[in-house]
Amino acid sequence: MENRRKIKVLIIEDSEDDAELSRLELRRAGFDPVSARVDRSDELKKALAAESWDVLLADYNVPGMRLRDDLREIQTTLPDLPVIIVSGAIGEETAVELLRAGVRDYVPKTRLTHLGDVVRRELDDRDARSARKEAEAALRFSEERLRTVIENLPVGVIIADASGRLTHFNRIANEIWGGFKEVDLRSYDRYEAWWPDSGNKLTSKDWGMARALEKKESSFNERLRIRCFDGTFKTILHAATPILGPEGEVSGGVAVLRDISEQARAEESERFLSDSTRVLGLTLDLDSLLKTLSDVAVPRFADWNFIVLISEEGIPEKMAVRGPGARHDAANEFSEKYSIELTASAGLGHVLKTGQPEMYVNFSEQDLGLKDPRARAILAQMRIASYMIIPMKAGPRILGALAFGISESMRKFDSHDFWVAQELGRRASAAIENSILYRDAQQAIRLREEVLAVVSHDLKNPLAAVRLNADMLQRQLDRPSDPILKIRSAVDRMLEMIDEIVNMSKIQAGGLKLSIREEKTQTLLSEVVELMRPIANVKKISLEVHADSECPNIACDRMLLFRVFSNLIGNAIKFTPENGAVTVSCECDGRGVLFSVKDTGPGIAPDEVPYIFERYWQSKRASRKGAGLGLYIAKGIIEAHGGKIAVDSQVGRGTRFVFFIPLAEKGRGALRSSYRRGAA
């Protein structure tokens, strides 16, 4: 069955036969009409109110109806309802009047075969008008929605037409620039901007909008420094893209900008502080440090900088001055003639006394309360317009102060600058404190070296004389003398303790000097064991050697490594009871040689193991049998060789010390690194 187009038809007709003829003609034209017939005005109103009709067919001559009035009312209330007159002959004047009343067309009853085509055309026109209205309404809504979105975006939006004329600035764009200037493509440079990295000013053609319109080029996240219409400067991120028409032609352009001034300023402050921290850490010399600090601050942060330190006697000392250009001499002259009074109510003296920072956004010479007219005159030459003073402190102690001034850059310090200055002051305080501590440490090291020289020379010489005289006395006697043996033993112990103290100090100072040679591992181990065997025999302790025959040579200081073995084996013999055993072994792991000294002594308590390599440490559970420096020195010697030492001990079962020495070639590389670390 053929698909027919369903339509709802309202027919104004006093003849049912004529109405049926209209229906038949509509069916013949392919429609499936659902209709109603009315022949009075009141019925027409009810039918229009009750249903939604697709078309209205009206006979002009229906007794009892005011058709013209009814049609005018329909045109007002239902302007989209197609009205077609289906009637006998009517005059031209009547036809014009009916068209004015909203009639869409006229079909004589004598030519009803045209009715289907007329209805189809009117319905199509109605649908087209409806679609067009919907599209226009949707477009208006879309434009209004877009306008609302653009206006309320959290970024600036600028729109230009194809000629480059700026047609729209949203609210944020107006706020960023501080206004709006009507310009075209050739006068974009009325909006002043600079590339931050190069400092070059943008021409009209450099703007992203110009490149979008002329080259169809899109730009993204270009950072610019702009001068706003009120004279202030801002940093923005700028992007632009062309608006293309249906044929790919440029019909306009849109630019987006975001004010990142605070972000850019924070980033620059972080870079400034990071760079300051880095350069302040490059030296520990106080004079170099202060010069570096002044160089960091000027001109990147301020135009002027004064640095004052408090001496050990509590007297302010001007340490560094930095100023712009030719007026730097005025800063030096002011520094020399302006005495800092700690009793002052403002300025450097007040900050040095109270430890509280001060900021003068709008500075004048009167702010410092200077009584000396010459000092005021010199200060006036410096033209400082904004001024800050920041204390430098180490805990409660005031080390000095930093003073910053602005004159050349025509800006003023604000709360952010005040924070940056205080942060720089904290970092400078730490660097200066470290420098002072380093200076004091160097003085202490020199004093210690002098003391060590006295200990090594002035104490060893008398002991050597005592030892020599004891030997001479022994040779004059027929048999060994117990008192002389005790004297010799005491002298040897004293000399050993002096060597331990000297070595400990060298290890602490990183100045332990090694005489490196390539040594045969097995030979070295055999010699040191044979040297210690007599001591082990006295206590009837078995001293055994387990050496890997494949152990390669090592790079070491023979005498210092002998001291390590002597200490570890000596301790093992000392703390192992009679008839015990001490085993010395070595094995290669590919990177170096692993030595171990194992005993069957009482072992070390777990709570004491972490402390055995500390200076002067001795177990509380054993009698004191030395100065407590042996293991500390052994650890220092092994680490100076690029090795490591560890201990494994169980109470009641014994102790095992293990240490690692690199192979000859690898050892030399590790030692070179170790020397560099020590030298630093």
The domain locations on the chain are 5-131, 153-265, 282-440, 513-662
* CA 202 from centre of chain: 30
Q: Say which range, 76-80, 501-505, 522-526, has the weakest mean pLDDT.
A: 501-505
What is the Cα–Cα distance from 466 to 488, expressed in whole angstroms?
Answer: 8
Please identify, in words, the CATH class of the domain defined by 282-440: alpha beta
More confident: 212 or 384: 212
Query: 153-265 with 282-440: one CATH topology?
Result: yes
CATH pick for 153-265 out of 3.80.10.10, 3.40.50.720, 3.30.450.20, 1.10.510.10: 3.30.450.20
pLDDT in tens, 108-143: 988 899 999 999 999 999 889 889 988 988 888 888
Q: Say which range, 365-369, 429-433, 597-601, has the weakest mean pLDDT.
A: 365-369
What is the Cα–Cα distance from 164 to 204, expressed in whole angstroms?
Answer: 11
| In the predicted structure, residue 446 carries a pLDDT above the cut 50 | yes
Averaged pLDDT score across all residues of the chain: 84
Give the model's confidence band at 675: pLDDT under 50 very low, under 70 low, under 90 confident, else very high. very low
Spatial neighbors of 235 by CB under 8 A, at least 6 apart, are 196, 223, 224, 225, 226, 259, 260, 261, 263, 264, 265
Give the model's confidence band at 284: pLDDT under 50 very low, under 70 low, under 90 confident, else very high. confident
Per-residue confidence (pLDDT) for residue 99, from 0 to 100 = 80
% of the chain surpassing 70 pLDDT: 84
Give the burial string for 525-561 (b: 16+ CB within 10 Å, else e).
beebbeebeeebeeeebebeeebeeebebbbbbeebb
Concatenated DSSP letters for 360-425?
Answer: ESS--GGGGT---HHHHHHHHHHT--EEEEEEEEETTEEEEEEEEEESTT-----HHHHHHHHHHH
Spatial neighbors of 199 by CB under 8 A, at least 6 apart, are none
Per-residue confidence (pLDDT) for residue 298, from 0 to 100 = 86
Give the angle 458-463-464 at the CA atoms, nearest 5°. 100
CB 359 within 8 A of CB 413: yes
- Is residue 296 within a helix (H) or strand (E), and if so which, with residue range? helix 286-297
Average pLDDT over residues 48-52: 91
| In the predicted structure, residue 200 carries a pLDDT above the cut 90 | yes
CATH pick for 513-662 out of 3.40.50.300, 3.30.565.10, 1.10.274.10, 3.40.50.1970: 3.30.565.10
Q: Say which range, 39-48, 291-300, 387-396, has the weakest mean pLDDT.
A: 291-300
Nearest of 585, 589, 593, 560 to residue 664 by alpha carbon: 593
Spatial neighbors of 262 by CB under 8 A, at least 6 apart, are none
Give the burial string for 492-523 (b: 16+ CB within 10 Å, else e).
eebeeebebbbbbbbbeeeebebebeebebbe
| In the predicted structure, residue 668 carries a pLDDT above the cut 50 | no
Backbone angles phi, psi at 201, to 5 degrees: -80, 145
Tokens 């270009």 sit on residue: 222
What is the Cα–Cα distance from 599 to 655, expressed in whole angstroms?
Answer: 6
Average pLDDT over residues 636-657: 90
Per-residue confidence (pLDDT) for residue 1, from 0 to 100 = 46
β-strand pairing of 105-108 with 83-87: parallel
Strand ranges, E, within 162-218: 166-169, 193-194
pLDDT in tens, 158-171: 999 999 999 999 99
Average pLDDT over residues 504-509: 59
Give the model's confidence band at 678: pLDDT under 50 very low, under 70 low, under 90 confident, else very high. very low
What is the Cα–Cα distance from 536 to 543, expressed in whole angstroms?
Answer: 7
Per-residue confidence (pLDDT) for residue 627, from 0 to 100 = 58
Per-residue confidence (pLDDT) for residue 674, from 0 to 100 = 40
Here the tokens at position 188 are 């974009």
Q: Say which range, 26-30, 53-57, 577-581, 639-643, has the weakest mean pLDDT.
A: 639-643
Q: Say which range, 106-115, 208-217, 312-321, 350-359, has the weakest mean pLDDT.
A: 312-321
Per-residue confidence (pLDDT) for residue 329, from 0 to 100 = 66
Q: Name the residue type at position 169.
A: F
How buried is residue 245: exposed, middle or buried, by Cβ count under 10 Å (0-12/13-18/19+)?
exposed
Average pLDDT over residues 452-465: 62
Backbone angles phi, psi at 561, to 5 degrees: -70, -35
pLDDT in tens, 251-271: 999 999 999 999 999 999 999
pLDDT in tens, 372-399: 677 677 677 778 889 999 999 988 899 9
Per-residue confidence (pLDDT) for residue 661, from 0 to 100 = 87
| In the predicted structure, residue 655 carries a pLDDT above the cut 70 | yes
| In the predicted structure, residue 535 carries a pLDDT above the cut 50 | yes
Per-residue confidence (pLDDT) for residue 680, from 0 to 100 = 28
Per-residue confidence (pLDDT) for residue 516, from 0 to 100 = 85
Under CATH, which architecture does the 5-131 domain have?
3-Layer(aba) Sandwich (3.40)
Please, which residues bridge with residue 233 across strands?
Answer: 227
Average pLDDT over residues 200-228: 94
What is the Cα–Cα distance from 213 to 463, expressed in whole angstroms?
Answer: 97
Nearest of 41, 40, 52, 7 to residue 25 by alpha carbon: 7
What is the Cα–Cα distance from 255 to 260, expressed in whole angstroms?
Answer: 16
